[in-house]
Amino acid sequence: MPGRGLLERAAKAKIVGTTPFLGRAELPTGNCYCPLRAPPVTIWVTSLQYRFCSLSWDFLGVGGAEQRMAVLAEEKVLVLDFGSQYAQLIARRVRQQQVYCQIVRHDISAQRVLELKPRGLILSGGPASVFQASAPRCDPNILRLGLPVLGICYGMQLLCQMLGGKVLSAPAREYGRTDCRLLAQDELLAGVAQQTQVWMSHSDQVAEVSDQFVPLAATPSCPIAAVKHRRLPIYGLQFHPEVTHTPEGPTILGNFLKSICGCTGTWRLEDFRRQTVDALRQRVGEDRVICGLSGGVDSAVTAALLA
């Protein structure tokens, strides 16, 4: 974050790219609050605290959010984040399949999902237990949209519980590599060996599924390690396909993205960079820019794009 002196010297600056935090009349810097009012310079303030970068088009302030997303990618998948340490990694793995991915709140409404027009949804893992009253949950209406859904770890447990299954505490917390055996053939697991290695990290697991689901895989300690809904394009994996310790994880994610969601894999990160720089140039024009560089990833990326 820029220091107080810099903000005071820019007290007449025009602020562009506002966020909900900056929508108020003042911006916190350290232990003090520095009011920001009116303009002859353009200020771009960045900070890890506010996560202004994180590939957010809302920050650029060019046109409507939906219009910018349409320019960014015709195909996209949303990752609903339930507090997983791997949420960013899931998004990265999706992008490595040349499909644009956006991380959103776990409680995003079905209406907002429709507005974003994704090809599919991925429900991340998370540290909570579905038994907890305060456990994060998704809008049940997203399961009625007809979109392909893949639940990973907690995401699978939540899906199965919402659709009539039973989740129980596992006999012992499972963490690490384990062998996985396929129980049925399905396009999600196409090209995956009958016996494969996967990475587990859970203390709860699905004990029973309703008759709406078909078990697809099992491990020695987890009899329901993967599932598929009989009628809807809803899938669940108790293991983590996004980590390198699941060698055939890229194949499984690729099957979900391309065979099930119908993505063609036309998105490129270089296209995103070029479009972002073009949008910045359009927004800033001939104005001067002050970029507060904290040294964190978000502000460093913003500085690189501005350069």
Whole-number mean pLDDT of the chain? 78
Which residues are catalytic, by number?
Answer: 153, 240, 242
Interior/surface letters 205-216, b for 16+ CB within 10 angstroms, e for the rest: bbeebeebbebb
Q: Look at residue 54 in the predicted model and tell me its pLDDT.
A: 33
Sign of torsion over alpha carbons 98, 99, 100, 105: negative
Between residues 245 and 65, the one the model is more confident about: 245
pLDDT at 73: 61
- Does the pLDDT at position 64 exceed 70? no
CB of 207 closer than 8 Å to CB of 224 = yes
pLDDT tens-digit readout, 130-174: 888 889 999 999 999 999 999 999 999 999 999 988 888 776 666
Smallest Cα–Cα separation from 301: which of 53, 98, 72?
53
Cα 18 from Cα 44, distance rounded (Å): 9
pLDDT score of 286 more than 80: yes
Which pLDDT score, from 0 to 100, does residue 266 have?
87
pLDDT at 14: 36
Rounded CA-CA distance 25/34 in Å is 9
Sign of the Cα torsion 178, 184, 187, 193 reads positive
- Averaging pLDDT over each range in 7-21, 37-51, 131-145, 263-277, which range is the top one? 131-145
Convert the pLDDT of each residue in 30-61 to its tens digit.
333 333 333 333 334 433 333 333 333 333 44
Asked if residue 200 lies in contact with residue 241, where contact means CB atoms within 8 angstroms, the answer is no
Name the token pair of 192. Answer: 């995956």
- Rounded-to-integer distance, Cα 136 and Cα 107, Å: 8
Stretch 171-180: mean pLDDT, rounded?
A: 79
Query: pLDDT tens digits, residue range 77-100?
Result: 999 999 988 999 999 999 999 999
pTM of full prediction above 0.85: no
Percent of the chain whose predicted confidence (pLDDT) is above 90? 48
Q: Which residue has the higher pLDDT, 5 or 279?
A: 279
The band of 175, judged by pLDDT with boundaries at 50, 70 and 90, is: confident
Tokens representing residue 211 in the block = 């008759």
Sequence-ordered list of residues with C-beta below 8 angstroms from that of 17, at least 6 positions apart, any chain: 44, 52, 59, 60, 61, 283
pLDDT digits (tens, 9 = 90+) for 209-233: 889 999 999 998 889 999 999 999 9
At residue 267, what are phi and psi to the nearest 5 degrees?
A: -80, 145
The closest alpha carbon to 184, from 154, 141, 214, 159, belongs to 214
pLDDT band at 109 (very low <50, low <70, confident <90, very high): very high
**Tokens for 103?**
């991380």
